[in-house]
């Protein structure tokens, strides 16, 4: 789960991937709405990107594991998470 952009924060790396995925869907929907001259494509893309963001946040961020002890830990909105086994706090900063 490590990346050179976010070497010490696996949560921020996963969150960035989720945001890129939702952004690409929205970009494609905007392109289709301009090309087809139909704003329903834009509305549909907006709804799909919001669903992607919500679903991936719930599934991916909740299944992340602590890089030190490899134990699965749950994401708590706002405060980050604390691994119960090794007592390390991971935060979305």
Residue 26 lies in a domain: yes
Beta-strand (E) ranges in 1-93?
Answer: 81-82, 89-90
Residue 24 lies in a domain: yes
Residue 83 lies in a domain: yes
49, 57, 62, 78 from 93: Cα distances, Å:
23, 16, 17, 10
Tell whether the model's pLDDT for residue 70 goes beyond 80: no
Distance, CA of 42 to CA of 72 (rounded, Å): 37
| Residues 82, 19, 5, 71, CA torsion sign | positive
Domain with 39, as residue range(s), is 10-90
pTM beyond 0.75: the answer is no
pLDDT attached to residue 1: 44
pLDDT in tens, 20-43: 888 999 999 999 899 988 888 889
Stated as kind and residue range, the H or E segment containing 61 is: helix 39-62
């Amino acid at each position: 789960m490590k990346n050179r952009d976010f070497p010490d924060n696996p949560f921020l790396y996963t969150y960035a991937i989720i945001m890129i995925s939702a952004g690409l869907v929205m970009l494609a929907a905007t392109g289709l709405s301009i090309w087809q001259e139909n704003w329903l494509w834009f509305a549909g893309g907006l709804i799909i990107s919001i669903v992607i963001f919500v679903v991936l946040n719930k599934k991916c961020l909740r299944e992340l594991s602590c890089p030190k002890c490899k134990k699965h830990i749950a994401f708590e909105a706002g405060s980050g998470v604390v691994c119960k086994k090794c007592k390390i706090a991971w935060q979305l900063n």
